[in-house]
Amino acid sequence: MPDATPPNLLGLAPAALAGYCAGHGEKPFRARQLSQWLHQRLEDDVDRMTDLGKAFRATLATHARIAAPDVIRDSTASDGTRKWLLDAGNGNAVEAVYIPEDDRGTLCISSQAGCALDCAFCSTGKQGFNRNLATAEIVGQLWHANRTLLADGVTAPWVEAGRAPITNVVMMGMGEPLVNFDNVVAALQLFLDDNAYGLSRRRVTLSTSGIVPMIDRLAAEAPVALAVSLHAPNDALRDRLVPINRVHPLASLMDACRRYLPHAPRDFVTFEYVMLDGVNDAPEHAAQLVELTRDVPCKFNLIPFNAFPGSEFRVSPRERIASFRKQLQDAGYTATIRKTRGDDIDAACGQLAGQVQDRTKRRLATRIVAAGAP
> Annotated active-site positions, please?
95, 349
Q: Who contacts 374 (Cβ-Cβ below 8 Å, separation ≥6)?
A: 179, 181, 211, 213, 214
Total residues contacting ligand SAH by CB under 6 A comes to 17
In sequence order, the β-bridge partners of residue 96 are 84
Residue 172 interacts with, from ligand SAH, ligand SF4, none (CB under 5-8 Å by kind): ligand SAH
Please give the residue whose beta carbon sits closest to ligand SF4 in the complex. 125
Given ligand SAH, ligand SF4, none, residue 118, with its beta carbon under 5 to 8 Å by kind, binds ligand SF4
- Output 95 or 176, the one with its CB closest to ligand SF4: 176
Scanning 36-44, 93-101, 129-137, 201-209 for contacts with ligand SAH by CB under 6 A, the matching segment is: 201-209
The least distance separating ligand SF4 from the CB of residue 92, rounded to whole angstroms, comes to: 15
Binding region for ligand SAH (CB under 6 A) out of 67-75, 118-126, 316-324, 327-335? 118-126
Report what 315 binds from ligand SAH, ligand SF4, none; CB cut-off 5-8 Å by kind.
none
> Taking the complex as a whole, how short is the minimal distance between the CB of residue 132 and ligand SAH, in angstroms?
13
94 binds, among ligand SF4, ligand SAH, none (CB under 5 to 8 A by kind): none
Of 99, 77, 84, 71, which Cα lies nearest the Cα of 156? 99
3-state secondary structure of 62: helix
Residue 172 binds ligand SAH (CB under 6 A): yes
Category of 95 on φ-ψ map: left (φ > 0), alpha (ψ -120 to 50) or beta: beta
Residues 6+ apart with CB under 8 A from 49: 33, 34, 37, 43, 57, 60
271 contacts ligand SAH (rule: CB under 6 A): no
Q: Shortest approach of ligand SAH to residue 308 CB, angstroms?
A: 6
Calpha distance 313→243 (Å, rounded): 16
Least gap, CB of 110 to ligand SAH (angstroms): 8
In the complex, the smallest distance separating the C-beta of residue 117 from ligand SF4, rounded to whole angstroms, is 4
Q: Could you list the residues that contact ligand SF4 (CB under 6 A)?
A: 115, 117-119, 122, 124-125, 175-176, 209, 229
Instruction: Kindly tell me which residue out of 97, 349, 365, 369 binds ligand SAH, with binding defined by CB under 6 A.
Output: 349
Q: Is 207 an interacting residue with respect to ligand SAH (CB under 6 A)? A: yes
Query: CA triplet 62, 185, 201: central angle to 5 degrees?
Result: 115
Collapsing DSSP to helix, strand or coil, 152 comes out as coil
Cα distance between residue 159 and residue 167, in whole Å: 10
**Per CB under 6 A, does 229 bind ligand SAH?**
yes
Shortest Å distance, C-beta 148 to ligand SAH: 23
Residue 265's φ and ψ, nearest 5 degrees, are -75, -15
Give the H/E segment covering residue 191: helix 181-192
Query: Contact with ligand SAH (CB under 6 A): which of 9, 34, 122, 139?
Result: 122
Residue 14 CA to residue 189 CA, distance in Å, equals 7
305 vs 320: CA distance, rounded Å: 13
CA distances from 217 to 100, 132, 251, 257, 269 (A): 31, 18, 18, 12, 16
Alpha helices in 39-163 (DSSP H): 54-63, 123-127, 135-151, 157-160
Nearer to ligand SF4, 122 or 184 (CB): 122
- Among ligand SAH, ligand SF4, none, the one that 26 touches (CB under a kind-dependent 5 to 8 A) is none
Stretch that binds ligand SAH, among 98-106, 114-122, 215-223, 261-269 (CB under 6 A): 114-122
The span of 76-84, 117-125, 160-168, 184-192 binding ligand SAH (CB under 6 A) equals: 117-125
CB of 156 to ligand SAH, least distance (A): 25
Q: Contact between 121 and ligand SAH (CB under 6 A)?
A: yes
The answer to whether residues 38 and 66 touch, using CB atoms and an 8 Å cutoff, is yes
Give the SS3 label for residue 79.
Answer: coil
Where along the sequence are the contacts to ligand SAH (CB under 6 A)? 119, 121-123, 172, 176, 207-209, 229, 272, 274, 303, 305-306, 349-350
